Structure 1
């Protein structure tokens, strides 16, 4: 089905192929390790730079690891954006999201189980970190503003993903894993003090469910998924099909 220049499909035939299920499992594993890394030692509300760099580098490594297996979405908002842009099928998007949320809950639950009773999971004065503090939060009364920030910065991440996967953009022009990881670093530097900077429904859903802190979950999900729908509509007329600057006629090779 072709709508507004985009090709859409249910993808039912994919369900009978091994690469499809390999991709679903890849999304589960990728999101599982992402949450494992964030909750154990990467995301730190007390160290902005370490938390931002750790999260971005973790994403870069995971994208490089499973890109050829599943496309390395590792983010339900990215999967919905790719669906909205006609790049993946409806069934692939749905199963990817189920795998991502499953990996998020599994990774969060494992961290809680393994750290239960340790100094990591206690509120202490000597540097111990309570598990609940690793759940992204917005200031009470500031939820609408926080939702707007999540919308804007999730949109920036999705814009970069769409640009990286644009067929008009030569692969040799840059490293996709590194560029997406750097967007995550910048986003976390800006948002950790305000919203925790998840820009990823899987990043907030697993820890929120496992810890029982779901009161603000809706604000995160609305902001992030709204960006999934709106960003492709902005990207297409703005950047679709436009080659990188150095590939335009009259650019590069010393020409002005």
Structure 2
């Protein structure tokens, strides 16, 4: 028995710990990437730059196409119980974001949302040149996506509201603005956390799972705010629907669906960079 205990003791200590875990591993192995330049002229001559923009266009096009059709299907039903209801709409938005981020993350980063792009720009994760290009392509994709839905079903599209965002009865513009700010904060904060390069250096599975929490965040925010604004948290989504629907209902409070998401994205970027990613002070002692 004594021999066996000695063998067990030897086996438990034979291989010393070579790789420190947790924060120690991050501090030793992780190197913070330099911030993206504000303007990078070389991007304009790179095919990968335009390929990323095309990916953002197609992803936002598909996002609007599927989600607006889902919203119209719910509104067409005689009551919520005869359709997928609010939960189904929320799943359509969250599920599409999950799928599209998964498909485009390796090409463009899978933003599919000007607010996400704006937040990442503030954190210096991409250049101003690329950010502006992404936002333009996202808006064009959203317009085309809503336009195709109207082209297929013109009369139902106009009768059912075209998926345009508006402030619901019983809520003020301040309520709607607050809902959009907080909702976008949740989304962009999740994006930062799910795609954090420092976290990825420690947990190799994080990049694979990143689309899941992002899509789930979109789902949860829609559950909370559909009754208030129909949920935007994505200026391109609201712009595409408003332009194609082109009625007062879609334009009266349209500013909310730009100002709210951009404020929410800015707050999430500041919180993540200043609080979550802050490097602790090291003592010289």
TM over 0.5: yes
What residue is the counterpart of 2:259 in the other structure?
A: 222
What residue is the counterpart of 1:78 in the other structure?
A: 116
* Cα distance between partner residues in 2 of 1:13 and 1:148: 40
1:201-216 correspondence runs (5 A): 201-212=235-246, 213-216=250-253
Q: 1:67 aligns with which of 86, 89, 105?
A: 105
* Cα distance between partner residues in 2 of 1:42 and 1:60: 18
Tell me which moved more, 7-16 or 194-203.
Answer: 7-16
> Shift of residue 41 of structure 1?
2.2
Counterpart contact for 1:167–1:241, Cα < 8 Å: no
* Cα distance between partner residues in 1 of 2:128 and 2:99: 27
1:190-201 correspondence runs (5 A): 190-201=224-235
* Cα distance between partner residues in 1 of 2:35 and 2:133: 21
What residue is the counterpart of 1:153 in the other structure?
A: 183
* Cα distance between partner residues in 2 of 1:115 and 1:63: 28
| RMSD, aligned α-carbons | 1.9
What residue is the counterpart of 2:270 in the other structure?
A: 233
Aligned length: 229
Q: Deviations over 1:25-51 (max 9, x none)?
A: 000000000000111126746411111
Counterpart contact for 2:36–2:126, Cα < 8 Å: no
What residue is the counterpart of 1:172 in the other structure?
A: 205
Tell me which moved more, 70-79 or 169-178.
Answer: 169-178
TM-score (norm 1): 0.84
> Shift of residue 86 of structure 1?
0.5
* Cα distance between partner residues in 2 of 1:220 and 1:9: 26
* Cα distance between partner residues in 2 of 1:181 and 1:147: 22
For structure 1, the residue ranges without an aligned partner over 5 or more in a row are 124-129, 243-256
Does the C-alpha gap of structure 1 residues 224 and 122 become closer, same or farther in structure 2, counting only changes over 3 Å? closer
Residue 68 of structure 1 aligns to a residue whose secondary structure is coil
Q: 1:16 aligns with which of 45, 55, 65?
A: 45
1:182-197 correspondence runs (5 A): 182-197=216-231
Counterpart contact for 1:199–1:224, Cα < 8 Å: yes
Q: Deviations over 1:132-171 (max 9, x none)?
A: 1521221356111101110011011000111122111124
Q: Deviations over 1:11-37 (max 9, x none)?
A: 221111011100000000000000001
More helix by share: 2
Q: Which has the larger radius of gyration?
A: 2
TM-score (norm 2): 0.76
Tell me which moved more, 18-27 or 44-53.
Answer: 44-53
Q: 1:144 aligns with which of 165, 174, 183?
A: 174
Counterpart contact for 2:36–2:127, Cα < 8 Å: no
Does the C-alpha gap of structure 1 residues 25 and 103 become closer, same or farther in structure 2, counting only changes over 3 Å? same
